[in-house]
Amino acid sequence: MPVLELAGKNITFNDEGFMEDHKQWDEAVAREIAAKVGIPELNERHFTVLNYMRKAYEENGTGPSIRALTKQSGIPTKELYELFPKGPAKKAARIAGIPKPQGCI
């Protein structure tokens, strides 16, 4: 399993690129992961999604699907794809430091 130094922390990732320990996450780590996956800057709307993803994971043991994310975060699907191109639920989960949501390919 790869270990990367992000925001001054050694963080272990699984083979799919998701953090092994979501408790190591913070906004600085999120910004560095985002840059590595092609999102050069995170704004307030990004963090609305990321914080919702983390909350859902802590409550349910998995991140929300794209459908649940749209309904429950209050951010429309079109905007999710603008914020997190090419698979918003999976990409947002990666940046949020949580495992890949169930049902994501």
Active-site positions read: 104
Residue 29 to residues 4, 10, 24, 66, 72, Cα–Cα distance (Å): 11, 10, 8, 23, 25
Handedness of CA 78, 84, 85, 89 (dihedral sign): negative
